[in-house]
Structure 1
Amino acid sequence: MKNVLLPTDFSENAWNATKYAIELFKEEECVFHLLNTYTPAIVSSRFMGTSMGHVQESNVRDNSEKGLKDLLGKIKKNFNYPKHSFKTISSFSLLVDEIKDIVERVGIDMIITGTKGASGLDEVFMGSNTVRIIKSVKNCPVLAIPQHFEYASPTEIAFATDFNRFYSLSELQPIIDLAKTFKASLRIVHVQYEIKALTEIQMFNLNMLRKYLNEVEHYVHTVSELNSVSKTLEVFAKELDIHLLAMLNYQHSYMEKMTREAVVKRMAFHTQIPLLVIPELGMNTPLKSSSNRENAVMD
């Protein structure tokens, strides 16, 4: 059974990510953990009595719990997949801290969150909740869903890599699972500033990658960089009608390069398609936490 974490602030883009998640796993046994965190507004005067603070906390807690109850009703009204169940978590906590705790405590397989704003990935990389989650959660993949993206079965998946790093099977497993589930073609895309032959290390890593993907239809594409890595991947995704872009997040990866590109270069790159970011796990790290306790989670 899959455990999927859905952080929500009850916005439209959070609802869009929730819809995507439910459709993506409609054929799988899944527990969706709906999370809303809250912190009361800071009291403006240090002379205000503590009772006012308690009232404020009570109000935001009530709003959080009511929001989750309403969200659950909305889900049940719009979806009826028998393999799915839902749990709600209302927490007086900072979002990223609570997510890290739940990932460990429950054994979350994937975090699915919405991204918003006309500036797309530029906003994601400039300090939104999504990028804070990606940078902070070291043992769980994060799938970011664009605000207006309508669900489409991911039958074309792109995996961006430069072959400079050896990938472990545990790191590739989320991509392999999706490709198998949807009988997808996996497009391994290598962006080069100037086209040249792969080094011995790159060839070794490519060959190992192909061994891991032996049960998945896959192709290798080498493309010239257009202005920036992000712009190149955007054009590639459009031309091949890619439904989902996957990357691993590690030092010197494309993901890191994109976060460091000058803002003016990133402006054109919007989150047109879902972005799956997989943390660096290493050789022997299981993707899912061994702990499956679900205490402190309420229906």
Structure 2
Amino acid sequence: MKNVLLPTDFSENAWNATKYAIELFKDEKCLFHLLNTYTPVIASSRFMATSLGNVQEGSMRTSSERGLEDVLSKIKKKYNNPKHNFNTISSFSLLVDEIKDIVEKRNIDLIITGTKGVSGLDEVFMGSNTVRIIKSVKNCPVLAIPQHFKYTSPTEIAFATDFNRFYSLSELQPIIDLAKAFKAAIRIVHVQYEIKALSEIQMFNLNMLRKYLNEVEHYVHTVSELNSVSKTLEVFTKELDIHLLAMLNYQHSYMERMTREPVVKRMAFHTQIPLLVIPELGMNVPSKTSQDSKNAVAD
């Protein structure tokens, strides 16, 4: 059974990500963990009675638990899939800290979260919470769903890479599983500042990548950089009607470069399609492939 973590703040944005998750895994046995965290505002006065803080915490806990019950009720009313089970977690904690803890303790396979371009320069990329989760969670992939994205089966998946790093099978497994499940084509996209031949190391890494992907349909695309990596990928995904963009997050990766790009360059890039960010796992982590993942797919 696949373990999927769904953080929610009860917004439309979070509900959209929840709907996407349920549709994506409609043919797989899944345990979805619905998480809501709450932290009372710290009182500015040092003379405030502790009891008042306890009352506030109790009220917020009740509100959190009721919110989770409402989400669960909406899910059961709309979907009621016998393959899906749900667990609710209401926690007095900071969101990222709680997510890291749950990923470890509950063997989470994937985090699916909503994104929205909030106003504020640092949050243009895809929302500060999403960026914090991606940067902080080192042992679990994160799938970020744009605020207004309507579910589409991901039959066209783009994997953005520069071939400068050797990938392990465990890192590529989430993409391979999705491709097999949806009979999807994987489009490996390499953004170059100026088009030139690959180095020996890049060729070796490309050949290894193609070996890992030998059981799925895949293509290699080399594209010239348009103003920034983020803008280039945005144009590429639109032109080829890509349903999901995947990237590995490691030092000097496209993902890291995009989160560091000058704000002016990335302002145009609002994640229009789901973005799967896979952490750097290295060679020693066994790939998490369940029998269900292998068999999951709809005809």
Give the TM-score category using the shorter length.
over 0.9
Residues 1:220 and 1:164: Cα distance change in structure 2 (over 3 Å): same
Deviation at 1:121, TM superposition (A): 11
Shift of 1:119: 6.5
Output the CA distance in 2 between the equivalents of 1:121 and 1:153: 32
- With 74-83 and 172-181 compared, the bigger mean Cα shift is at 74-83
Corresponding position of 1:226? 226
Contact 2:17 2:112 in 1 (8 A): yes
Question: Normalised by the size of structure 2, how large is the TM-score?
Answer: 0.94
User: In the alignment, what sits opposite 1:42?
Assistant: 42
8 Å contact kept, 1:156–1:243 = yes
Matched position secondary structure for 1:107: coil
Aligned-pair CA distance for 1:209: 0.2
The answer to whether the 8 A contact 1:122-1:269 is kept is: no
Letter of the structure 1 residue corresponding to residue 128 of structure 2: S
1:92-138 CA-partner distances (Å, limit 9, x unpaired): 11111110110010000000000013669972648711111101100
Deviation at 1:175?
0.2
Given residue 95 of structure 1, which amino acid in structure 2 is its aligned partner?
Answer: L
- In structure 2, the gaps of 5 or more residues are 290-299
What is the one-letter code of the residue matched to 1:67?
A: G
- Residue 10 of structure 1 aligns with which residue? 10
**Superposed structure 1 runs of 4+ greater than 4 Å apart:** 118-122, 124-127
What percentage of residue pairs aligned between the two structures are identical? 87
How do 1:67-82 and structure 2 match up within 5 A?
A: 67-82=67-82
Give 1:197 shift.
Answer: 0.4
Amino acid at match of 1:157: I
Compute the displacement of 1:82 (Å). 1.1
The aligned amino acid for 1:35 is L
TM-score, length of structure 1 as denominator length: 0.94
Q: Which residue of 2 aligns with 1:163?
A: 163
Q: Give CA deviations for 1:51-110 in whole Å, capped at 9, x if unaligned.
A: 101100000000000000111001111112110000000011111111011001000000
For the residue of structure 1 that corresponds to 2:151, the secondary structure is coil
Matched pairs, number: 289
2:248 counterpart of 1:248: yes
Residue 159 of structure 1: how far off its partner (Å):
0.1
Report the AA paired with residue 244 of structure 1. Answer: L
Name 1:297's counterpart in structure 2. none
Which amino acid is 1:167 matched to?
Y
**Within the alignment, does 1:24 sit opposite 2:24 as a pair?**
yes
1:295 alignment counterpart: none
CA contact (8 A) 1:247 1:278 kept: yes
User: How big is the alpha-carbon RMSD for the aligned residues of Structure 1 and Structure 2?
Assistant: 1.7
Distance of 1:83 and 1:136 partners within structure 2: 31
Q: Is the 8 A contact 2:118 2:127 kept in 1?
A: no
